[in-house]
Structure 1
Amino acid sequence: MNNIRQFSSKEDIQEQACLWVSRLDRGLLDEEKVQLDEWLSESNAHRQALLDAASLWDDMSVLNELSGLFPQPQSRKTKQKQRMGKQVVWGMAATFFVVAVALSVIVQRTWFESAPQFANISEKVQTDVGEQKNVILADGSKLHLNTNSIVTVDFSASARNIVLLRGEAHFEVAHDKQRPFSVTAGSNTVTAVGTAFNMQYVDDNAFELVVTEGKVLVKDRFSAASNDLLFSRKSVTEEGLLMFAGEKATVQGKVEERENLSQNDIDDDLAWQQGMIVFKGEPLEAVLAEIGRYTPVRFNISGDALRKRRVAGYFKVGDIDGLLSALKSSFNIEYEKVTENSIQLSVAKS
């Protein structure tokens, strides 16, 4: 396994915290315990990020261990004492945390020795604007990553955990009942055993989910039950909503109204995998926002009427010249290239 890298940006710190929590879920190696201790001692931001990531995790062993590292609020007098010995407290907490993890590993050693052996895999996969990638994961699952996207992958002997940090990805999940396949995005997680589904962020917290094969379980990680987990030892019943092949919904905490798709609809939604984008009468403004995911070129539209003009057709990803030609010939829309990456659109004069 590669050594843990030092991160500085907020996004990288959040990504690293997610990886640490998923590794805690399967048990840390000796060298990882030392690396985690060092990482926690580097900054308060690291400790806070680990706590935030833990609040999204529903594994009791991880959360109970973190409750020792991040105790519940104390009285004012106790807080004052803690502030006076802040550095000492954090050092002791980190040491206690490593000991707790070590005990957990010892308790589970017998089970792991009799279970099938899998290599612990942690990696990051990302694409630039206009780039796509097809990746075969360690378990045989297929990951198709769309433009400007990032996922982290963490596989262990008991779980297959992925975090979609940005963009869009399609998953074809290899069948493995012993190791559920879970993808976290925003405030939700999507879990499958053997199936295929597509997830695309539509804003910072919501994503669009299309189930193309089998079924998946969608859970809200910010449910009341999940929020109580950090300082609770009670058993939590798995809650969520099953979605089946051919269903599509926007997910943001809860699953919005689902719709049933025909095979043609599914093919159109996944046309990006063949390098195409399909529009069926969306407003020009929405069309250009979608096309903008694949190119650094930005479009300025003259007038509200033109922004709302409906556009339909098949367009090749990244083919801006082809797009402009189609807009002019089929939709009477003129264009002017203001700069290399800026184009002005207006209604063509009669």
Structure 2
Amino acid sequence: MTRKDALSPDAPDLVSEATAWLAQLETGKLSREDLAAFREWVQRSPRHYAEIRRLAELSREVNVLAGMADPLREAAKRQRIVRRGATSPRRAAPVLGWGALGLAATCALAFALFAGPPGIAPQAPEPIYLVTPVGETREVALEDGSKVKLNTDSRVEVAFAKGRRNVYLEKGEAFFEVAHDTARPFTVYAGDRSVTAVGTAFSVRWTDEELVVTVSEGRVAYGEAPLRTAKSSAPGSAEIMPAAAPSQPAARKMLGAGQRLEVSPLNRAELVERLPENVLSRELAWRSGFLDFQDAPLREVVSEMQRYTPQEIVILDEELADLRFGGVFRIGQTQAFFEALELSFGVDVEQTADNKLILKSVN
């Protein structure tokens, strides 16, 4: 039975919350959503983890949960798919007395299933998939304290494990605010390139046309990375398997705050430039939900706007494509862009029967 979570990770009555979870586990009547939510609760805060383990040590009678072993193992195998508007359920725990602590033993088996039996290394947690549809952005807090914000039509796989924090940008663009942890490097893979940072903030954009890395804070190291082999995946996203480590480490280069790297997929040429503060701000304006253009050729503006709408936008003539354009537009409101073209720039916007948008000069 699903309940809403009214308690924060720092709730003062953590003992009661943990005990209530044990009571629910002991009943054996948990849905898949309940099992996923219990796992999320344990991993949400180090205090939750510590309290579950402390209560487990109060008793060695773990056989009461023997019947739950298979369902919990099956739940652990399931990949967590994180989509807009669909996150792991959270729940509030009813306040129970200490008499319920006789149920504390029920967490021992559950803990063993998540962490593995003594003497055996725990398995790496299942990867998390983050997806955004066309025209939408979203921000997600990761378990290490880092944050990732996805731009339109993007998909990433988060695969954290002991000693490493790997993120695979399968397509689109994402901005990363990385929590400092020198013991676990934070590496973003995009195609055959990787970007590694410790305590910094940067964006990575990977499309069929280019790879772009923009650093807003700190420093990152980038270089070549082994390709990964694609195969069937979780529903709604393509799974990419981890690549084998290269026999020799690839040469690494450094990017500092305010620098941008562009890599052409055609000739592998790398261009590194330092961006003025106002340009950097416009480059990353999408994080705040806006697109900011200043004196940009219309072809470039349309190319960027195309990422935020499923409608194909076609510029009819080359002269119009060279038109210099400027303006600030909220993501998801592309109609304002076309209205600005018509009212201020003398551009005719025509929608065809097959749902294309044709831009042409009025004259």
Q: TM-score, normalised by structure 1?
A: 0.60
Structure 1 residue 200, shift from structure 2 partner = 0.8
Q: Which residue of the other structure, out of 190, 208, 211, is the alignment partner of 2:212?
A: 208
Residues 121 and 172 (structure 1 numbering): CA distance in 2 closer, same or farther, change over 3 Å?
Answer: farther
Aligned counterpart, 2:345: 331
Q: Which runs of 4+ in 1 moved over 6 A?
A: 229-232
Q: Which residue of the other structure, out of 175, 182, 186, is the alignment partner of 1:170?
A: 175
Alignment partner of 1:307 is 2:321: yes
Residues 217 and 118 (structure 1 numbering): CA distance in 2 closer, same or farther, change over 3 Å?
Answer: farther
Report the secondary structure of 2:352's partner residue. strand
1:192, 1:215 within 8 Å by CA — same for their partners in 2? yes
Residues 231 and 265 (structure 1 numbering): CA distance in 2 closer, same or farther, change over 3 Å?
Answer: closer
Q: Which residue of the other structure, out of 196, 200, 207, is the alignment partner of 1:195?
A: 200
2:226, 2:245 within 8 Å by CA — same for their partners in 1? no
Aligned counterpart, 1:269: 283
Alignment partner of 1:127 is 2:132: yes
Residues 158 and 328 (structure 1 numbering): CA distance in 2 closer, same or farther, change over 3 Å?
Answer: same
Aligned counterpart, 2:222: 218
Aligned counterpart, 1:183: 188
CA distance in 1, matches of 2:346, 2:329: 17
Residues 231 and 190 (structure 1 numbering): CA distance in 2 closer, same or farther, change over 3 Å?
Answer: closer
Structure 1 residue 282, shift from structure 2 partner = 2.5
CA distance in 1, matches of 2:165, 2:324: 42
Report the secondary structure of 1:258's partner residue. strand
* AA of the residue aligned to 1:217: A
2:171, 2:207 within 8 Å by CA — same for their partners in 1? no
Residues 119 and 139 (structure 1 numbering): CA distance in 2 closer, same or farther, change over 3 Å?
Answer: farther
Listed one character per residue, the Cα deviations across residues 209-246 of structure 1 (whole Å, up to 9, x for unaligned) are: 101111010011269xxxxx9799x7x35521011111
2:139, 2:150 within 8 Å by CA — same for their partners in 1? yes
Q: Which of these two proteins has the greater Rg computed from alpha carbons?
A: 2
Structure 1 residue 268, shift from structure 2 partner = 0.6
* AA of the residue aligned to 2:316: S
Structure 1 residue 346, shift from structure 2 partner = 1.4
* AA of the residue aligned to 2:303: A
Give unpaired runs (5+ residues) of structure 2: 1-31, 33-69, 75-117, 228-242
Aligned counterpart, 1:145: 150
1:121, 1:156 within 8 Å by CA — same for their partners in 2? no
1:170, 1:197 within 8 Å by CA — same for their partners in 2? yes
Percentage of identical aligned residues: 35
Aligned counterpart, 2:60: none
Q: Which residue of the other structure, out of 286, 298, 302, is the alignment partner of 1:284?
A: 298
CA distance in 1, matches of 2:325, 2:292: 10
Aligned counterpart, 1:256: 270
Structure 1 residue 164, shift from structure 2 partner = 0.3
Q: How many residues align?
A: 233
CA distance in 2, matches of 1:238, 1:217: 11
Structure 1 residue 275, shift from structure 2 partner = 1.6
Residues 128 and 237 (structure 1 numbering): CA distance in 2 closer, same or farther, change over 3 Å?
Answer: closer
CA distance in 1, matches of 2:354, 2:250: 52
Residues 251 and 289 (structure 1 numbering): CA distance in 2 closer, same or farther, change over 3 Å?
Answer: same
Structure 1 residue 340, shift from structure 2 partner = 7.5
CA distance in 2, matches of 1:230, 1:268: 38
Range that drifts further, 256-265 or 176-185: 256-265
Q: Write the mapping of 1:221-260 to structure 2, written as runs, cut at 5 A.
A: 221=225, 236-237=248-249, 239-251=251-263, 256-260=270-274
* AA of the residue aligned to 2:158: V
Report the secondary structure of 1:273's partner residue. helix
2:225, 2:250 within 8 Å by CA — same for their partners in 1? no
Q: Which residue of the other structure, out of 310, 317, 331, is the alignment partner of 1:296?
A: 310
Structure 1 residue 306, shift from structure 2 partner = 1.2
Structure having the larger proportion of residues in helix:
1
Structure 1 residue 155, shift from structure 2 partner = 0.6
CA distance in 2, matches of 1:303, 1:251: 29
1:141, 1:174 within 8 Å by CA — same for their partners in 2? yes
Residues 178 and 324 (structure 1 numbering): CA distance in 2 closer, same or farther, change over 3 Å?
Answer: same
Structure 1 residue 321, shift from structure 2 partner = 2.3
RMSD: 3.1
Report the secondary structure of 2:339's partner residue. helix
CA distance in 2, matches of 1:128, 1:346: 29
CA distance in 2, matches of 1:323, 1:237: 46
Alignment partner of 1:348 is 2:353: no
CA distance in 1, matches of 2:131, 2:124: 22
* AA of the residue aligned to 1:264: N
Give unpaired runs (5+ residues) of structure 1: 3-30, 36-108, 224-228
Listed one character per residue, the Cα deviations across residues 81-116 of structure 1 (whole Å, up to 9, x for unaligned) are: xxxxxxxxxxxxxxxxxxxxxxxxxxxx98x98xxx
* AA of the residue aligned to 1:218: Y
Q: TM-score, normalised by structure 2?
A: 0.58
